[in-house]
Structure 1
Amino acid sequence: MRLAAVISLYIFLVSCEKNIDFIPRDSTPAVVIDAAIESGRPPEVRLSRSMNYFSRLTPELLASTFIHGAKVVMSNGEKTHVLREYKRELITGYSIYYYSIDSASLHTAFRGESGKGYSLTVTVDGKEYSGTTTIPKLNKKVDSLWWKPAPGNNDPEKVAVMARLTDPPGYGNYIRYYVQVDNGPFYPPLTSVFDDQIVDGKTYDVQLESGVNRADDIDLEEYGFFFHGETITVKLCNIDKATFDFWRTMEFNYSSIGNPFSSPTKVLGNIKGGALGYFGGYAVQYSTIVIP
């Protein structure tokens, strides 16, 4: 009798389900700002427009999203410089566009310096967007790098790269790192940003993961390891909290794509005025190890 009641209740609940059909609306493209300044390097700003969620990605579509002719102004508190738009040819035959130092106005140009603050103003179609960032002092560094055989693996060519870091006392030391293999580009790993909630004031060892190009298929069997004969360069960046929050939430969204059990997370940008994206400052240290 009890079993029959349970079955009847189940049938009742199932019969009450209602299918909901809806067609997502195309949203108006938003301005997307990808701006950064590193210690010792000139600023670089990329401007584009967001695409529809269901857009079919093609190189031609991506190329059409770049914003041209914007007014981009950056200040370090002492100098104010109007950035100039440049074109960079890629080996694929396509081009990307970015804004950086105007070589015709070098008297107001500047490079990134640790311990300084920066402001950015972008004007597109008469509308203004702004953001601020700092390049922290380079307080947290890689003390040493070494390699060891890859744990739990029978391939003698595969190795793990280890790093020893010292976190200065006091919370609020945020880092992001990138990895270069031989003379290739610097790529961040799948998880590239870390705070010091657990390691505050400590010297600790950590296994570094290899960087990835998210446009490529990622082989999870090989991911995170390196091989004999490679030269590995680690780019460790001290960043402020706003830059950390942007990449922390962005990488969480990357990892949750296609996962029906993940929780939605808003990407925390630091641009005011209604644009998407961020403006970040990076204090940079490079460390290299050759795996024989």
Structure 2
Amino acid sequence: MRKIHIVLILAATAAVTGVACKKVISVDLNNAAPQLVIEGEVTNVRGPFPVRISKSVPFGASNDYPPVTNADVYITDSTNGIVDHLSQANSDPGVYLARGTVGVAGHTYVLSVTVDGKQYRAVSTMPKAIFLDSVTFALNFDFNNKQEIDAVVNFQDPPGPGNYYQFTEMVNGRNIPNVFVFEDRLSDGRYIEQPLFNDSAYLQKNDTLLLTMNCVDKNIYNYFFTLANVTGNNNFQTATPANPNTNITGGALGYFSAHTTQKVEVAVY
């Protein structure tokens, strides 16, 4: 049995600033049997929408997840009854494409996957889109008192609790592995100016940042929140580093998300 020590960064989701503490835990890492991993999404932009199906690998192995090519995959829009039978992408084994699904805010989508006679299911409701006004930048200091540049997302949270957000960053065409999530439990109806705290190595002046804001449902927020806590927002993370809370039933790992999405590209200053 191997053990790895992980530093958890537990951030309070306040409207403007976050309060963080550090906690060290020990995670036992066994050579567990491979499990099915499902990652899928439906968004409010034009498809096709991908569902990636693979098998997990033991800790210490490469992150080359074996694709699953014999799955039977459906996405049903339960709001209008439209059923989409997904076809596998010709050039990407294990990726199934929803070509007949249209993402509409307020609609509920059901993913059904059958592999080797076993069924898996996930449900996700697409929230309404919330407009990202702008992306600005702030200078902060990390735990080693080293200066870092952090992106700040600026938007109006609508009245009424239960709005959940997920953010991703791509710098100069390279994905940043950190997980950023935010909920409005402590900031309902306020104007949000939320820093996305980063490592000092990631953002430099004159870099090109492509920031994505997804409005997600509660289950997907919980998935990425537990993912961020388990990994401490570091490079250990994959789709399922330590089994974060999934919305997929049947024993598979991963997630299925119906969400609205918006992208902003800006030069770092």
* TM-score strictly above 0.5: yes
Amino acid at match of 1:194: F
Listed as ranges, the matches of 1:1-292 within 5 Å are 27-40=32-45, 41-53=47-59, 56-58=60-62, 62-63=64-65, 65-77=66-78, 78-88=81-91, 97-101=94-98, 109-139=100-130, 141-147=131-137, 150-151=139-140, 159-182=149-172, 184-187=173-176, 190-209=178-197, 220-223=199-202, 226-255=203-232, 267-291=244-268
1:160 to partner: Cα distance: 4.2
Q: Which has the larger radius of gyration?
A: 1
Q: Find the counterpart in structure 2 of residue 105 from structure 1.
A: none
- Between the two proteins, the alignment pairs up a number of residues equal to 227
Q: Is the 8 A contact 1:117 1:135 kept in 2?
A: yes
SS in 2 for 1:118: strand
Q: Give SS of 1:227's match.
A: coil
Structure 1 counterpart SS, 2:42: strand
Provide closer, same or farther for how the CA distance between residues 28 and 229 of structure 1 changes in structure 2, counting only shifts above 3 A.
closer
TM-superposition CA deviations, 1:148-174 (whole Å, max 9, x none): 5x3469xxxx75433322111111100
Q: Which has the higher helix share?
A: 1
Q: 1:50 to 1:80 in 2, by over 3 A?
A: same
Segments of structure 2 that go 5 or more residues without pairing to the other structure are 1-28, 143-147, 235-241
CA distance in 2, matches of 1:268, 1:161: 27
Q: CA deviation at 1:27?
A: 3.9
CA apart distance, 1:248 = 0.9
Measured in 1, the distance between the counterparts of 2:215 and 2:62 equals 35
Alpha-carbon offset, residue 70 of structure 1: 0.7
| In 1: Cα distance, 2:31 partner to 2:187 partner | 45
Which deviations, in whole Å up to 9, do the C-alpha atoms of 1:50-100 show, x marking residues without a partner?
A: 2334xx4236xx25x211121001111332111111255xxxxxx663111
What is the rounded CA distance, in whole Å, between the counterparts of 2:31 and 2:209 in structure 1? 44
After TM superposition, give the deviation of residue 239 of structure 1 in Å. 0.3
Which residue identity is paired with 2:38?
A: I
- On the 8 A contact 1:42/1:112 being kept in 2, the answer is no
Shift of 1:245: 0.7
Please give the TM-score of this superposition, normalised by the length of structure 1: 0.68
**Alpha-carbon separation, structure 2, partners of 1:152 and 1:29:** 40
